[in-house]
Amino acid sequence: MAFLAGPWKGGGPLDLSALMVVVPTKQSGRRLREAIAGYAATQGQAAFPPRVLTPDRLIASDATGSEASPLESLLAWAEVFRGLELEEFRSVFPIDPPERNFAWAVRLAQGFARLQGSLAEAGLRLSDVPAKAGADFPEAERWRQIAELERRHTRELASRNLREAQAAKIERAAAPVLPEGIQGIVMLGTPDPLPLALRALAVHAQSVPVEVAVFAPEADAAAFDAWGRPLAETWTTRPFALREFEQRVQLCADPAAQAERVIAVARGYGGSDPGVLGAGVADSEVLPLLEAGLRHAGLAGFNPEGRACHGDGFYQLLAALAGLARDDSFAAVETLARCPDFLEFLPARGNAEVSAAGSLAALDEMRARHLPPDLAAARRHAPGSAALAAVAELRATLVAGVFPENAAAALRLVFGARKFDLARPADALAAESAKAWTEVMRETKEAAAVFGNISNAEWWDVALRLYGELQHSDDKPAGAIELQGWLELLWEDAPHLVVTGLNDGSVPEAVVGDPFLPESLRERLGLKTNAARFTRDAYLLQALAACREQGGRLDLLLGKTSVAGDPLRPSRLLLRCADAELPRRIKFLFSAVESARPNPPWRRAWQLQVPEATLPSRVAVTALRAWLDCPFRFYLSRVLRMEPVDPGKTELDALDFGTLCHAALEAMGNERALRDCTDAAVLREFLLNTLDATAARRFGRELTLPLIVQLESARQRLSRAAEVQAQTRADGWVIEWVEKKFVLDVGGLVVSGKIDRIDRHERTGAIRVLDYKTSDKPAQPWETHLRPARRDETAPEFARFLHRERETVWGDLQLPVYLRAIAAEFPGETECGYFNLPKASTETGIARWDEYTRELAESAWRCAEGVAAAIRAREFWPPNEKVRPEYDDFAALFHHGVAESVAGKERVR
């Protein structure tokens, strides 16, 4: 600071406005200005700051219109690739890609744009490479072709009156303009300035004095070149000196472990002393863990980098709109509907009363019932839905006209009625995002003016990517610990600095796997090489240590593995030591670390507090079975009425499937004319027609794939059922009743139900109760109703009985209750059984319950009364521990035993 201020001793403002100061990064610039303000303050004064900028700004565009924006450059590349005859470029594209679409072209374009960028850093164009690299290098032909590609790129731009930006930049560097009023330039603590920027500085040096200042002891002057860049000779060989090396350097298991140590020390400082502790994050994997950890520990952390926009909420809304613009699938609708901005838009559309919860529930209901493929289908099912209407309006807007106008229009719709109060941080942030996106839209609009044949969807993709890559910087909370990248640390003046991620590849930074510029070529071209990065980082590390020799402290953390578990290696910088020391260093840095975190034994956080609820006034027959299955789950499902939603539902579930088939069969039964029909063909036709009609009513004409398959299946089952029905009629059985409703008092409990079908035999007059079953395997009544007692049977007494000398338990009471229910109406012999429509059509048929004896009937009734009594007595215990989780709707509630998971059993007892 003193160096900049020079003789100034207060008395009038500290005026540096005639000075231009070059610093390595934005953040360091900020640091400098803060320091200047502080310095002036020491004299009770203020300052006119110098013009502070980063090297790349030295040659940045002066925003003259003719220069191609990055987007335009990208699209120009895409144009080049789309129209390319690959045969002429076999050294670049040895084989044809599977498909040459826009997406392919854009992804290529990004690669080439990046390539241009990295060459431009050294003032090179693609076409310079062959010459620069020398004749002897292996991929000469490839690069000749790449050069040709670049020529075409330039042409594409030229044909649109655009200048290629990188080229322009290089020209600017040759003849930079000095802002008026600048009388001197200082480059401050910038160990690896952009080579191209140095060209510009060199030119400036002819008109104004240019000084270069580095952070290093006077004695080391010789260790840097004229531009303040550390010299390889010196820094790659010089041992890294750090006192108490083995205390200061810590090997941690993984990023999480590193984060934890930083958080521990931060906690130690209690956040009370901002400015004592600084944290450096050289390995990007540590950053999120560190941020989350600090937040969780109630400490503030601040990442000056800011956050990429694709993490923010507004991006999600845009993505949802893009989805809707692409197609109006119901999934796209659901996604959009869950965007808060959309939910706020609903009432704004003049239906003030629509509730968010209501709309979402309705959508889920819609999916569950109708499985609509798209918006149109959904609207046919619910013409009145405000939410769907709103989506439809947006969809219409999005597909009308061209991008970005239609996108902007849609957004104006959504936000039209909203006011953003800039005083509210949330609103301010939203407004900021909106501005950023609008900028993107403008950019695309300009580009769209000159680049044709790009579809809306493609524009959306491009624009979204642009926006997603932007950075939000939130303001720094008071007392927050700054989490800075490796290159910022030189400017960090906190006395205690903890740096994480000192692993090779992060420090020294290494770039590998560039398909165009391998290290060897970079060397030939004079681009930044990993070797150069090594030198730079060797110097940086030493500098960080050196300036904390007195009264300061530098801690270095490194990880053994990455988050994904890949092994990491210690930074080579830490191995810069006298050979004699090396073995010890190696042993220290390559020792094994067992993960510090022990895993505590499983333990229950809490037991569920089951609320009380009043019993339903009447229950369905199926309830009896449910209770027998598991009294407690009965309580949850039938008394508390807890029911899941399956948001991923894409096809009929077993129940839907059954209902569909039932509907057809019921209709058949109701059709008096068909009751005597023995012609399978006729029956089949009727059944299938009814099925189609029902399906159409419920699902509309457009069916999704699984539905088509499932209906196909239903069709097959019904066809076969028709034959069976024809046969049964031929055997003399006539349908007497279908879907016969009944209400039955079982020991004081009202049980209601519907009997699928009752047949009467035309000759014997015998009565037969049938229930349709559509399970994949044919069901046998005795198997579904009875089961052998388990070794540790928990079923209550009334459910057990001796059946053929075997301890047997009632699992279901459906048919017995049916029989009981109709006993009065049809006295005398009644049989019962299932009409199976299983998976294998050969197994379709009627399964009679032959041995349904009087004893069974009595035992069953005893059981039914028992269940009824239990329900009325609120006996919902013990639960069935044997239900397999994958078949248990309530699995999420239970861990390590159902009974164990629940408190307050007395309430359900």
Partner 1 sequence: MTTVGHVMILASAGSGKTYALTNRFVRLLALGAKPERIVALTFTRKAAGEFFDEILNKLARAASEPGYAAQLAGEIGVPAFGAADFLKLLRAVADAMHRLRLGTFDGFFARVARNFPLELGLAGEFEILQEHAARMERGRVLQRLFGRAGELAGAQREFIEAFKRATFGADEKRLGAQLDRFIDEHQEIFLAAPGRDHWGNPARIWREGWEGLKAAAQLAPAAQALRAALADVALSAGQRARWDAFFADLAGWSPGAPMGAALNYLFGNALKAWPGLAEIMVERKKHALPAVAGDALRRLLQAIIGAEFGRRLEMTRGIYAVLNGYEAVYHDAVRRAGKLTFGDVQRLLAPGEDGARTLSREAAEGNRLFIDFRLDAEIDHWLLDEFQDTSFGQWSVLKNLIDEAVQDAAGARSFFYVGDVKQSVFAWRGGDPRLFREIFNHYNDARPGIIAEEHLLKSWRSGPPVVAMVNAVFRAAPAIGELFPGEASAAWNREWRDHESARPQLGGHAALLHAADEDARFATALKLLHEIEPLERGLTCALLVQKNNTAAELAEYLRREGGVPAVAESDLHVCVDNPLGTALLALVKAAAHPGDTLAHGHLRMTPLGDLLVAEGLAEPERLTRRLLGQIHAEGFERTMDFWLRRLEPRLAADDAFSRARGRQFIAAAGLFDATASRGIAEFIQFMESYTVRDAEAAAVVRVMTIHKAKGLGFDVVILPDLEGTKLDARRKGLAVQRAPDRSVEWVLDLPDRLFAEQDTVLAAHLRAAEADACYENLSLLYVAMTRAKRAMYVITKPPGKSASRNFPKLLAEALGGESATVRVGKQEFAGAFSEGDADWHTRIAPPTPEVRGAPEIGRLDPATVGKSQRLPSRQPSDEKTGLLGGAQLFALTGGGSAAADFGDALHRLFAEVEWASDPAMEKIAALWSGCGVAGEEALACLRAPELAGVWTRPEGATEAEVWRERAFEVVLDGAWVTGVFDRVVVERDGKGIARRATVFDFKTDRIGDEREVAATVLRYAGQLNLYRKVAAVLLELKREAVTCELVLAKMHRRVVVPVTGSR
**Interface of this chain with partner 1, residues 496 to 525, rule: CB under 8 A:** 496, 498, 504-505, 508, 510, 512-515, 518-521
- Asked if 442 interacts with partner 1 (CB under 8 A), we say yes
Provide the minimum distance between the beta carbon of 330 and partner 1 in the complex, in angstroms, as a whole number: 7
Residues 694-753 contacting partner 1, CB under 8 A: 702-706, 708-710, 712-713, 716
Binding part of the chain for partner 1, among 201-209, 379-387, 669-677, 833-841 by CB under 8 A, reads 833-841
Which amino acid type is present at position 828? Answer: G
Rounded to an integer, what distance in angstroms lies between the CA atom of residue 880 and that of residue 904?
17
> For tokens 């930083």, what's the residue?
262
Provide the minimum distance between the beta carbon of 734 and partner 1 in the complex, in angstroms, as a whole number: 26
Residues 461-480 contacting partner 1, CB under 8 A: 468, 475-476, 478
Nearer to partner 1 (CB atom), residue 643 or residue 797: 643
Nearer to partner 1 (CB atom), residue 168 or residue 652: 652
Q: Are 608 and 901 in contact (CB under 8 A)?
A: yes
Q: Spell out, one character per residue from 93 to 122, where the chain touches partner 1: x when CB under 8 A holds, - when not.
A: xxxxxxx---xxx-xx-xx-----------
Q: Are 258 and 281 in contact (CB under 8 A)?
A: no
Q: 91, 90, 87, 86: which is closest to 138 by C-alpha?
A: 91
Nearer to partner 1 (CB atom), residue 205 or residue 417: 417
Binding part of the chain for partner 1, among 150-158, 423-431, 451-459, 817-825 by CB under 8 A, reads 423-431
Provide the minimum distance between the beta carbon of 825 and partner 1 in the complex, in angstroms, as a whole number: 35
Rounded to an integer, what distance in angstroms lies between the CA atom of residue 226 and that of residue 223?
10
Provide the minimum distance between the beta carbon of 162 and partner 1 in the complex, in angstroms, as a whole number: 21
Buried-state track 712-750, b at ≥16 Cβ within 10 A, e below 16: ebbbebbbbbbbbbbebbeeebebbbbbbebebebbebe
Angle CA(263)–CA(266)–CA(267) in degrees, nearest 5? 85
Among 394, 441, 680, 864, indicate the residue that binds partner 1 (CB under 8 A). 441
Residues 837-856 contacting partner 1, CB under 8 A: 839-842
- Asked if 65 interacts with partner 1 (CB under 8 A), we say no
According to DSSP, the residues that pair with 51 across neighbouring strands are 20
- Asked if 335 interacts with partner 1 (CB under 8 A), we say yes
Q: Are 574 and 585 in contact (CB under 8 A)?
A: yes
Rounded to an integer, what distance in angstroms lies between the CA atom of residue 242 and that of residue 538?
13
- Asked if 776 interacts with partner 1 (CB under 8 A), we say yes
- Token code pair at residue 486: 């490796």
Total residues contacting partner 1 (rule CB under 8 A)? Answer: 204
Task: Return the half-sphere exposure (C-beta side, CA atoms, 13 A cut-off) of residue 127.
Answer: 10
> For tokens 């958080």, what's the residue?
263
Provide the minimum distance between the beta carbon of 389 and partner 1 in the complex, in angstroms, as a whole number: 20
Provide the minimum distance between the beta carbon of 890 and partner 1 in the complex, in angstroms, as a whole number: 7
Among 1, 18, 48, 618, indicate the residue that binds partner 1 (CB under 8 A). 48
Residues 291-320 contacting partner 1, CB under 8 A: 292, 295-296, 310-313, 315-317
Rounded to an integer, what distance in angstroms lies between the CA atom of residue 866 and that of residue 627?
11
Residues 182-221 contacting partner 1, CB under 8 A: none
According to DSSP, the residues that pair with 559 across neighbouring strands are 252
- Asked if 882 interacts with partner 1 (CB under 8 A), we say no
Rounded to an integer, what distance in angstroms lies between the CA atom of residue 528 and that of residue 195?
9
Residues 585-614 contacting partner 1, CB under 8 A: 586-587, 590, 592, 594-606, 608-611
Provide the minimum distance between the beta carbon of 851 and partner 1 in the complex, in angstroms, as a whole number: 21
* H or E element that contains 229: none
Provide the minimum distance between the beta carbon of 850 and partner 1 in the complex, in angstroms, as a whole number: 19
Binding part of the chain for partner 1, among 337-345, 749-757, 859-867, 873-881 by CB under 8 A, reads 337-345
- Token code pair at residue 399: 């597909």
Rounded to an integer, what distance in angstroms lies between the CA atom of residue 613 and that of residue 904?
14
User: Sign of torsion, CA 722 727 728 729?
Assistant: positive
- Asked if 70 interacts with partner 1 (CB under 8 A), we say no
- Asked if 640 interacts with partner 1 (CB under 8 A), we say yes
Residue 782 gets which letter from DSSP? Answer: H
Among 177, 400, 642, 696, indicate the residue that binds partner 1 (CB under 8 A). 642
Nearer to partner 1 (CB atom), residue 288 or residue 747: 288
- Asked if 564 interacts with partner 1 (CB under 8 A), we say yes
Reduced to 3 states, what is the DSSP secondary structure of residue 93?
coil
- Asked if 485 interacts with partner 1 (CB under 8 A), we say no
- Token code pair at residue 14: 């500290």
Q: 625, 264, 501: which is closest to 633 by C-alpha?
A: 625
